[in-house]
A and B are shown apart, each in its own frame.
Chain A
Amino acid sequence: MVAVTALGLARCQFAFTVAFHILFPSFSIGLAAYLAVLEGLWLKTGRQVFFDLFQYWLKIFAIGFSMGVVSGLVMSYEFGTNWAPFADKAGSVLGPLLAYEVMTAFFLEAGFLGVMLFGMRRVGRGLHFTATCLVSLGTLISMSWILASNSWMQTPQGYAIDPHTGRFVPTDWLKIVFNPSFPYRLVHMGMAAFLSVALVVGGTGAFHLLRAARKGKPPTEAVRVMFSMAMWMILVTAPLQILAGDAQGLNTLRYQPAKIAAMEGDWTGEGRAPEILFGIPNMQTERTDDAVAVPLLGSLILTHSLDGRVPGLKDFAPRDRPNATIVFFSFRLMVGLALLMLLLGATGIFMRWRRRFYDSKALHRFALSMAPAGFLALLCGWVTTEVGRQPYTIYGVLRTAQSVSPIALPGIATSMVFFVVVYFIVFGAGIAMLLRMMGGEPQPGEPGPNVREPTRTAGTHPGPAQGRPVGQAVRLE
């Protein structure tokens, strides 16, 4: 077996913390946009159902957002604790991008989150809607900066290397930010966030539809609206996301052929290449065992022609190859989930046509079981792209082994144990809380996230928590 090294453990720790982290901002990106749409629809149509859904998802957003904040704080220091030589060499390029993210996005989100969560009665509808839009905008700006930074590590350009210190010196910031893989990754990741949240919202709606059917009651309007909006979103986004993924694949073929070879499980570079559907890439024997392949399809998918050349891992020295066993499977899992999402969208529109959209148990069960699929696919895609970048932190320039901090194994091991314990307690409790909240049905006159504000629970005046729901209070103003 592989011996445990400080490098291996430092990578494990980073992967563990970032894997948790990546889920929450994605949730926030998608949900903030959904909240802005709901509040906008409420203001435009005046229909209570949109306000109820807004309040319902706002409470859930507050929990998810707080987990994103605290897990992200860890990331901004972990580059230094675990990857000090990397930070020293590449901080000149990546640090300013991160700092711009903080200044343009994090403060914007944090500044207006308070107004969004607690300020409805204080600032009025128009300003409150502005705050919601600004929080949503903040999540999108944040995503752009972090993906520019991540993409630069995949396809670096616009820099020189200082010959004395080995440090990166930025020469062209436009080239650094708009590096070749950035636009593709931004679109792919952004849609992943929207799609993941649509699946969660759709799954929640499906859960309540199933429960209403079991109780023999008609589903509430809020549940129907939620389910319908999500299913439209999935119908539109799932195929677009597959196209975006294909475009990113072609971009990767051009700039990181070794990653493509690993994703495909191809060992020999060739034209008229087959597509391996299943197999077990073996890094020692340099072949893919038990392969089931379709002739010519590999060239067709990757080059959009039958005789295009597709790279193989043997084109690269063994020390320059990413681990194909991991990447091969994470990629296939992602693609498989994407096809299921496509199928879900198609089933949804079919049931609408057959007028069985709100009473097809099969559709609702399918949607419910797909609720976590977006986040699972997102994690698989992230594993594919990051493990596929190995053995480099900055592709082709700085190796992972040269990036790790001089922290001894026992130190990393100790902190790893703490991270695992704390993350499972905190984020386990948080996710349980989210699930419990989604398990509760949205109510007419849904109370907002600030019902426990002491003005309403502790004061001598009975507040909305006991009497008037906030939704109605706002309508009456």
Chain B
Amino acid sequence: MRCTNARTYAVSNATNNAGATTGVAIVALLAVLGTAWGASAQEDEDSEVFSSVEAGASIFVRGDTDRTVVISPRASTSVTLADERTTVRGAYMADIWTSASIDIRTAASVRRPRQAGEGEGTPARSITEQRDQIDVSAQHEFDDVTIGASYYFSGEHDYWSHGFGLRSVQELFGGSTTFEESARFIHDTVGRAGDPNFSRPLESAGLRLVFTQILNPEAILQVVYDGTYRTGFQSSPYRFVGLGGDGQCAGTATLCIPEVHPNERVRSAFVLRARFAFGEAASAGLGYRFYIDDWGVSSHTATAQIAWIPARQQIITLRYRFYTQTAAGFYHSTYPELNPANPVRFVTRDRELSPTFSNRLAISYQGTARLTEDASMKLALAVGGTAFVYPDFVGLEEVYAVDATFSVTLEL
């Protein structure tokens, strides 16, 4: 669940450590299996089962000033069959996070009364949890059409998600124009720690249309529409909203009630982005996204990147991202005291529904080294930093985050 898990605060470290160990073990197993599969394919070329195999492993680490640390190991395998038209991919990723964020600190004040000897400055206990995600997909290329299907599962002890996707890509005008349509259906089950009777469904259906046009041998343009309809439980079962006072249950609010969000949401995003090459050694990219939904949130996202190719099969990329959004229509930093004559229908303490903006800067290196005539290894490293600003959220004004990703991919 979101960082609002004010559960029993008796989360077993042993359980979490076991989960983390399991995740790392699965990552290692997938990487080894993928590599072995690829090696087998190479040794048995006469059978011509596979034309290429990739196996990779990566780790993402993120920390921020909101007392949250995330470690995400990931393993992936991609196999292209001998017909060179069919590709099967699989990936496993874990999110192992430890947090005492503002949500948890706020919820803790409601769900876990301050203990004897704990002063105002006593930090809330952190929570460690793990989310596991498995993605599998397959696609087959016909002459000018590619058809694909995908499935994912994401699981936590209090949130489970299954997603199914279908995708079609058509090449038009000799391949200079590409049109892609994909549909996705997601079924989530929202639970609540310590309450085995709490189970709420959340259904999502989405449509994505992607139009890609080659402008000239050194420029390409893409237009995207992405729409989603969600119906079901979309609040946090752990988050409480203070009525009256300063709006904080830990502060001077006179009453705390569970967060209530609307059950339906229609979301639309439009993207326009382009890439421009400057000879063989450099390129630039620009992107813009406009997002709007029927909760009243609208946002603008601008991206820019510059890539430098210092040597063959090596890329250094600098990326910048700016994001700004308006608040949901029912969001208020503070809510008035309960008035039976004029009840408030929806209340939230979700900072993601407050007005906010962020700036992100990241740099990455990707390099490929040939190991043998048939095998190569790709190394990638990325480091980034993000500054989030919440101008109208009581208790949190800014969050600064740094993250790093390292990956190794073997190509056979």
Chain B binds chain A: no
- Which residues of A are in contact with B by a Cβ distance under 8 Å? none
